[in-house]
Structure 1
């Protein structure tokens, strides 16, 4: 098979690495890719949001399957455009991608399907939103309704903090058009889990879980980021809780999407809170998590390409996935200043030393090739140092040993990934 992966981050490097191991693969491209992806796939100079350019590239190369990594091209209708061109695609239609593109839509689907979730309200007027917050009190959660690259959520510990978030999102528009409206929710208490399921429109197969670390600083301090590290599987998410999440959250949502005439095909990422009353839905995303994907892919023993193709073709009933029972852990190395302004173009050395640590893979998230084989930082989150170990502690020790072997003075990482498990 000839496969094109869309995207250029750590998630896409992990997907390309896993797909490259498939005996079904004949040729692998990635658009636009990065310096690390270039070691396992041919990178194409086509942007991830260039829908017409991606369709043309897939047509020109007679691609058999396109695997879409990020959410933005899905919400722009890339899957629809590929399907119209007769090209198989792993990823939901534009209508189904509204599960991530609109927090309001997700809440409406959850309510219609009877999915347990936080009480909520939507506002287009900042004054009305502030009045609601004052009435409800804190802690309370304020979310930009649209896509905000994983940074549009504020868990406010005080009414003042919630009001500041409303001002930032709706009046200062720090997330652009995504902040035209907000969803305000009750603050659920418990452990947060990222749970993934492959879906073919009718059926769903559990694809494992991970625990992400969203805040930039140790001890979950500082602003939210796209994710500073993850580990899999989270001990708190037992097989019984996974079964409950499939039965009460994933399958009813899938059935409701089909009932609406917008069946969901792709990977459904359920952000869950493990509350005293059981798992509750925080939000849906319509793609693999980043950095959760890195932690999951190094544990997957089955042929990823075969599973993605089965989902795209409506054959998930044939799929059973096998996993490495050992835990994995991913430490994100980010550019100094992230998630605010950060420098690009700094040189990263020592990647070979890091990759030589037993059990370690270094996935590239924001890199470009430099002169004479150099690797340059080109993003906020730049590397995902990922390890498998006999225990969570062993995986963590290996990942930090590798991170410490990387010579990149302009980079930093959290030092406490998986602290909840340890």
Structure 2
């Protein structure tokens, strides 16, 4: 048997058991990302096409995970694949600029008409890190305000408000510089800012925070944040790494609120690694290398031609009519599931093409319940995120959306029945 055949055979038996020469699993816990974990050894994807994924256990799954919402056009979309292969065939990345960056920046800013410039990164985490640094440099201040339950990646600032488990390893000084504000508590937000208005560099908002159970931020909370930021010279950062998909001008456009800086990623990369900071010209000048004293900003693969070319096609394909169609499918699916699980003590939250089933009234869902629902969904051929966030993709139609609703409702009822 060849070495390759032996390796493939070992992987097929149980990839989690693969160990290195000192006896440790090759990947910590057997996982390449902690966010894959669902309480038990996970299946491995073998291939994907459109809105379906096939795994190493022989299952065909409706893919409503979509790599944590990033695959807005599902798996292996032919036009995106063609653009990526064409870019790759000319060179995966270079040490000088490429023209694909300009194309994607132009397309992105056409959806964000109040913002002026874009700088690309490799992930949403990097985009938020850069936005915070820009805000601090431009204001000369250190402290930031975030909403409890918002998710802004895995930088120290983003992890600081997440409680003891998330904040392990984060320096005390960083934790002290971050003020967590309860979701939609307008008075708490106002008091926090007005207690030290000259101390805050930024207010960071996640308009549909999944960590808080996919709860909406109220219009009053958002407009108050905008007013306070304007009045006190604070930079308003709206994190749309996930929520950009929900409106032709992002979810902030649906609220009618313009940020000073907007961070995004996921859907703008066509399935490839990407992040972006879009912002007002005077703030983005902080990373203008022609300006004396500007902030250095790098990233070996930031703005690489493959991500940029694929992302440009993805944005073109996800036009306003597709945004509306996908949101309508998601709204109908959410309503359908909600009507079937309400008597079991569950509700379905979200907006547009994003939905998540949770026990009614819960601010956070315990890990064991999340894991049970993930496996019940998986056993019915539905793939969501480990937190059971479901995202629709453009290959889906009414038939698929109805399948998702049926499978999710059945999974929720199975979990609820086991808990009673």
Structure with bigger RCO (C-alpha 8 Å, 6+ apart): 2
TM interval, short-chain normalised: 0.3 to 0.5
TM score, norm. by length of structure 2 = 0.35
Structure (1 or 2) with the larger CA radius of gyration:
2
More strand per residue: 1 or 2? 1
